[in-house]
Amino acid sequence: MHRNTMYRITRETMNFKGTLPTLILETLAHETSHGYRIAQQIKERSEGILDFKEGTLYPALHKLENEGMVESYEGMEKGRPRRYYRITKSGRGALTRDRAEWRELSRAMTTILGEA
Amino acid sequence: MAATITTAMATTGLDSWLQQATRCLAKDSTAQVQSEIREHYELARESAMNGGASADEADRLAVAALGDAKTANRQYRNVLLTSGEARMLRQGNWEAQAICSRSWIKWVLLIAAAAAVFSGNEFLLRGSIMLAWKLFAGGIVIGLLFAAPFLPVYTRLGGRVFRGVRWVAMLTMLGLAFGPDAPKWSWLLFSCLWMVARPEWTRASIRRKLPVAEWPRHLYL
């Protein structure tokens, strides 16, 4: 992963620190979305296992935007203005690298810990 | 009546969250955070109410889902401009301001830098090597600090090279000026360096947050 990977396991959820940008890129690789929907999709797709505080989503989005991984634009939904985010070409490149690194890490962990 | 009171309480909860999360941020950054968090809060509240929560509970859940405001503030300050950085961005750098506000200062400083280098050369020819080096270093530092706005530094790499040269020249000058007595005068050395290092640190932070396309000229220096 291009960011530090640490995780904290609570009773019901897992909080993978530093992986939020990758999860955001993964979500945006499927569809352009606004902040709230991104947060909900990460929680839904991980079946509620990956948990994060939603107030930290936007700083991560701004960082990705500063790095040129995502871009934002104003849109309308149900007559209300919304800020939408979409992944850029360099964001897709970073996501591909992150996926490869995650597979490597996951394979190494499985080798050490054994299949669950 | 009860619903109005609970909504007002929850709004106060959101306002207090926003107040903490936007602490020390620039006006534009604060407006941006308030807008995106309010938008998020409304959707979260609506979703909770659609799920059967009461208005009171929905407000509470929506604020709780945002998490710790201080953590968010720390993260926002890493990616959005703070009020101090916005001020620096507006004002430019103090070296440029000093010479651009009064044109005669520019000429005095440039002449002083040239005179220091010229005198250094003279002393070198007469054999006063230490004094010559001090004058050379002093002249170069004054030149680099105050002639910077006139130098052709327009690229990211050019800026890095310029800043590196400036720091090396400055440290060399301080080393030469204080010589073996440097530890005794360390408080003065740190005061001098602090004056230059602090705005340099702030500029580095602005460079990290702003896309290169939006950099004003003084950020390259």
ipTM value, please give it: 0.79
Q: What is the pLDDT along chain A (116 residues), one digit of tens a residue?
A: 444 444 444 434 444 567 899 999 999 999 999 999 999 999 888 887 777 888 889 999 999 998 899 999 998 888 888 899 999 999 999 999 999 999 998 899 899 988 65
Partner residue facing A53 (CB), from B36, B67, B79: B67
Q: Could you tell me the pTM of the whole model?
A: 0.76
Q: How far is A71 from chain B (nearest CA, A)?
A: 12
Tens of pLDDT, residue by residue over B112-134, are: 888 888 888 888 888 888 888 88
CB within 8 Å of B138: residues ≥ 6 apart: B116, B173, B177
Closest-approach residue (CA) in chain B for A84: B36
Q: How far is A91 from chain B (nearest CA, A)?
A: 15
Which of A15, A36, A38, A78 is the best residue to mutate to test the B interface, defined by the most B CB atoms within 10 Å of its own CB? A36
B33 contacts A53? CB cut-off 8 A: no
Q: Residue B75: name the closest of A59, A15, A24, A21 by CA.
A: A59
**Partners of residue A59 in chain B, C-beta under 8 Å:** 72, 75-76, 78-80
Residue that is written with structure tokens 């090279």 in the block: B161
Q: In the predicted model, is pLDDT for residue B92 greater than 80?
A: no
Print burial letters for A64-74: b (CB count within 10 Å at least 16), e (below 16).
Answer: bbbbebbebee
